Amino acid sequence: MLFFDLDDTLVDDSGAAAAAVRALYVAYRDRIQDSLEAFTNRWRLAGRVAFTAYLEGHVSYREQGRARVRTAFGCPLSDVEAEAIFEAYLDYYDANLRLFPDVKPLLKALGDRPLGIITNGAPERQQAKLVRVGLQGRFDPVVTAGEVSIRKPEARLFHVACARAGVALAETIHVGNNVAHDAQAARAAGLRGVWLNRNGATSDPPFAPQIRDLRELTRLL
């Protein structure tokens, strides 16, 4: 069984998010006093704080979205206003979401091998991303932190995914772009972790196995 992370492993989450923030900045320029760089930094920080609160079960996904908007914009906004801005951001994000170019060649090479996803995301959003990029139905199960209130790098999330797939931990591989939350965490949970290191980063301690391109995964199977 092969599990994958989703964001920045299969889909270019960082690229879509950056494009969405730029579009949001242009659309609401009259309400934002800072530079694009300052606004982007504030949006990212607000997002980390708000999404962590969501993953910990303190707020709903929509509530975390409104909180992110209010913090990033730094001005009073009603629920309706904040919701509309967050919806605009999601629309911009979806319009810019792309698969990495190595994904489809890998899936073709894997044939009908069973595949799943383990992701620190919201269930509805992660499923919508798979539909957006044409991968709906190819991964089963899709296990999200927002659904089970457990997040990587906690071992329990990997255990839940393997239980749903009906596979043994030692017979399962998890591939992801985050060395700590994906590769090392999977290994600590009893799976085989593979680090997708697209940019040639380093880790301390060094981690192996790692790949630069998803197509390299076939040589490890």
Q: Split the chain (221 residues) into runs of 10 and give each run's mean pLDDT.
A: 98 98 96 94 97 94 96 94 98 98 98 97 96 96 95 97 98 98 98 97 94 96 88
How confident is the model at residue 190, as a pLDDT?
98
Q: Which residue from 164, 71, 89 is spatially nearest to 125, judged by alpha carbons?
A: 89
3-state DSSP assignment of residue 55: helix
Domain 2-12+98-220 belongs in CATH node 3.40.1160.10: no
How confident is the model at residue 33, as a pLDDT?
86
Q: Look up residue 161 and give its two tokens.
A: 């995914």
What is the reported pTM?
A: 0.94
How buried is residue 34: exposed, middle or buried, by Cβ count under 10 Å (0-12/13-18/19+)?
Answer: middle
How buried is residue 139: exposed, middle or buried, by Cβ count under 10 Å (0-12/13-18/19+)?
Answer: buried
Domains 2-12+98-220 and 13-96 share a fold: no
Please work out, in degrees rounded to the nearest 5, the angle formed at the alpha carbon of residue 96 by the alpha carbons of 72 and 150.
65
Q: Which helix (H) or strand (E) holds 127?
A: helix 123-132
How confident is the model at residue 123, as a pLDDT?
96
Taking the domain 13-96, which CATH number applies? 1.10.150.240
How confident is the model at residue 75, as a pLDDT?
86
How confident is the model at residue 64, as a pLDDT?
97
User: What distance in Å separates the CA atoms of residue 80 and residue 86, rounded to the nearest whole number?
Assistant: 10
